[in-house]
């Protein structure tokens, strides 16, 4: 059982939904991003998504693109992203960390070396948005053999014919992208999301977490009410990008987490 599996079992026993927060490693700088990550569990975050900065983030909207660029300009690397995870893990051995990003930096490092280093750093799962199921032998299967969950995205355009393939080697949870387009796009709707979550859950026992388009506590509650939890990324990254302090970012995150946990 991974930390992700354990977290969902704990939440289910407590009758709670999962609140997942995304932050970009190295934004606004390496030291501050570590302090933000460390502050997330106390703010109510159940699972942390740690963004891996990349030069060509095709699924990301402007807010997260800018965060990645700030991180890269500050010298953030895959090595340093793993160091953030490792430093967090020295103080917190229970909160799951999912590394989210693109395959190129991992490929450049070498899959075997990356997986060994990720496990050593205390990473629990991967979301690699540009690796489709047809490429599972590249990273998904080796990652699962190394003990990491490999989390797949499903979208409004993932039809019933495609869905079984998407779910085939997925573990940990399914990340349902509530709106078409890039991160930070239009607001998600509970009424639109509910039937899609039900459609996915009819084909898997995995938890289904919904992200994209969640910016307020009320929206976090609305989405979590029809799923197993919700993800907030761009809204949090936007707070960081506006120059808010670690304490101010954590206070904002807590409002979102409280909203999700009311569901």
Q: Please give the positions annotated as active site.
A: 49, 60
Q: Burial of 174 by CB count in 10 Å (0-12 exposed, 13-18 middle, 19+ buried)?
A: buried
Of 237, 179, 189, 219, the closest CA to residue 62 belongs to 237
Spatial neighbors of 207 by CB under 8 A, at least 6 apart, are 8, 18, 173, 174, 228, 229
Looking from the CA of 189 toward its CB, the CA atoms found within 13 Å total: 7
- Distance between first and last Cα of the chain: 26
Spatial neighbors of 189 by CB under 8 A, at least 6 apart, are 178
Output the six-digit token pair for 5. 């599996």
Of 29, 91, 40, the closest CA to residue 252 belongs to 40
Q: Is 229 left (phi over 0), alpha (psi -120 to 50) or beta?
A: left
* Residue in the structure block whose two tokens are 């998904």: 140
Measured between alpha carbons, how far is 14 from 33 in angstroms, rounded to an integer? Answer: 30
The distance of Cα 204 from the centroid of its chain, to the nearest Å, equals 19
Buried/exposed 153-163: b ≥16 CB within 10 Å, e otherwise: bbbeebeeeeb
């Amino acid at each position: 059982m991974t930390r992700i599996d354990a977290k969902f079992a704990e939440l289910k026993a407590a009758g709670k939904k999962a609140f997942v927060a995304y932050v970009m490693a190295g934004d606004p700088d390496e030291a501050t991003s570590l302090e933000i990550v460390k502050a997330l569990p106390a703010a109510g975050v159940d699972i942390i998504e740690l963004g891996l900065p990349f030069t060509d983030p095709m699924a990301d909207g402007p807010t997260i693109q800018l965060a990645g660029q700030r991180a890269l300009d500050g010298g953030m690397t895959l090595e340093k992203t793993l160091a953030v995870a490792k430093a967090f893990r020295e103080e917190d051995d229970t909160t799951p960390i999912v590394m989210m990003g693109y395959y190129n930096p991992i490929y450049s490092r070498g899959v075997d070396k990356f997986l060994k280093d990720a496990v050593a750093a205390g990473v629990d799962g991967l979301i690699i948005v540009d690796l489709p199921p047809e490429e599972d032998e590249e990273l998904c299967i080796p990652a699962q053999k190394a003990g990491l969950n490999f989390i797949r995205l499903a979208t409004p355009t993932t039809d019933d014919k495609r869905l079984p393939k998407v779910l085939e080697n997925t573990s940990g949870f399914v990340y349902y992208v509530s709106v078409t387009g890039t991160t930070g796009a239009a607001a998600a709707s509970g009424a639109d999301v509910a039937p899609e979550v039900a459609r996915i859950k009819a084909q898997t026992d995995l938890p289904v977490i919904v992200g994209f388009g969640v910016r307020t506590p009320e929206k976090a509650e609305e989405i979590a009410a029809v799923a197993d939890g919700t993800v907030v990324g761009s809204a949090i990254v936007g707070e960081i990008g506006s120059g808010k302090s670690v304490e101010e970012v954590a206070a904002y995150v807590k409002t979102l987490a409280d909203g999700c946990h009311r569901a």
